[in-house]
Amino acid sequence: MLLVSSYYFYMQWNWKYIFLIVGLTLVNFYAAKYIADNDDEYKKKIGLFTALTISLGVLFFFKYFNFFNEALQDSLGLLSIDYKYDLINIILPVGISFYTFQTLSYTIDVYRKKYAHENSLTRFALYVSYFPQLVAGPIERAGHLLDQFKVRKRFDIRRISDGSKLLLWGLFKKVVIAEQLAIYVDKVYGHPELHSGPTLIMATYFFAFQIYLDFSAYSDMAIGMSKILGYDLMRNFRLPYLATSITDFWRRWHISLTTWFTDYIYIPMGGSRVALPRWIFNIFVVFLISGLWHGAAWTFVIWGLLHAFYYLVQIIWTKIHERYKISYKISHWISTPFKIFLTFNAVAFGWIFFRASSLSDAWTIVQKIFTEYDGVLYWGSSQVQTYLAIFFLMVFYIIQILQHYGYVTLYFSKSKFSLPIRWLSYLAMIFGLTLFGISDTAFIYFQF
């Protein structure tokens, strides 16, 4: 029943692309079976190579062919070589990067003997297409999600209650806060040349929270819906804007993708247990791939490499402190907020490239932020709407701090607030959803 529901859910977007999911499911299921049934290492590698080639080949065709085709055409043009190959007019399948990585993690784990081959094709197909997290994660591992499908679920009012609360919180973040921020961001980033530095700074801060609220809202809703159905999904965010360093940020942001890159790319390349030049190379490769995973555009490449540069700065800074035994006697109450401030602003600067429509737009924004301070601050087409967005943003950040100290529930932990206060907060969220209405705007990460 869940498998049929999941396929039906995906077919509501474009029924033709269900064959893509089914195809990738069959390829990885039988490739993993071939790997598990053979003791010969060469044959195992053939099975793994087949799954990787077909799965990544499909992803490349739909998501990256036009990007690399244009890049090749531009590069050869610089050498006066005439190369013309028409771009493919094709729709990018929703969530293709997510379910491709999820299926590949299963096949690789079977090859590494970290997970036994699943004998049920139906159960594996559900693992690939499970609708709560199909189009925007979290990217689950077979050892966590697939095994849960083997256990019969019973009605549990506590799970339904917990899941419903998280579902409500996710809806509130998306509709009431993220969508209000998006109105301002879209207007400013749509025409950055028309706006002043202060306006672009505010729009960039707004987008930093918009993308966090939008993406974490989907994750919360996926985890909440799954909880109602009786299954547990992994946590995908852990208060990332309270991070005190770039490494800390990536331990808190899009955790399922970060751990995927760590386990299947970074560690196999040697991770940090190599010479310093190779370690730096590994970091840049991982973040380059991370940038491309998010989108086939140079803006995403720059975004990924910028985070690699941040990592490099942190490595150098740490090495200097270790070598010269530098220490600071600064109060924790001063140093921690300062580190959070620096990390957040570094991340927010990176979001400029993530959100900008082109490199030229991104450069215009950066240039204006650092040079143009005398312009008028734009308050949006509706000042009331912008003030509301700022108010909700302040409320949300206070909630984040309260979550950090355990006063507000973080996923399924116990809240320190009394029952009446908790119910007032639920009613406030329902009122906010009623006031602003259910949005029909797609989640940002659907495009990836």
Write down the H helix ranges in 325-358.
Answer: 332-355
* Tokens representing residue 124 in the block: 């594996």
**Tokens 């940090």 appear where?**
272
DSSP string, 205-242: HHHHHHHHHHHHHHHHHHHHHHHHHT--PPP--S-GGG
CA dist., res. 199 & res. 408, Å (int): 33
CA dist., res. 23 & res. 7, Å (int): 13
- Single-letter amino acid, residue 111: Y
* Of 349, 352, 348, 335, nearest in space to 244 by CA: 335
196 within 8 A of 377, measured Cβ to Cβ = yes
Catalytic residue among 191, 294, 332, 404: 294
Count of CB atoms situated within 10 Å of the CB of 167 = 20
- Single-letter amino acid, residue 84: K
* Tokens representing residue 221 in the block: 């809703």
* Tokens representing residue 14 in the block: 């474009």
Mark whether 294 is an active-site residue.
yes
User: Angle between the 383-404 and 179-190 helix axes, to the nearest 10 degrees?
Assistant: 120
**Tokens 């690939």 appear where?**
128
* Of 198, 195, 202, nearest in space to 361 by CA: 195
Find the distance separating the first CA and the last CA of the chain, reported in whole Å.
Answer: 27
Kind and range of the H or E run holding 201: helix 197-229
200 within 8 A of 188, measured Cβ to Cβ = yes
Query: What's the gap between Cα 351 and its chain centre?
Result: 13
220 within 8 A of 399, measured Cβ to Cβ = no
CA dist., res. 286 & res. 152, Å (int): 39
- Single-letter amino acid, residue 326: I
* Of 268, 264, 238, nearest in space to 253 by CA: 238
Looking at 70-131, which runs of residues are DSSP E strands?
none
44 within 8 A of 38, measured Cβ to Cβ = yes
Count of CB atoms situated within 10 Å of the CB of 347 = 22
317 within 8 A of 244, measured Cβ to Cβ = no
Q: What positions carry a catalytic annotation?
A: 294
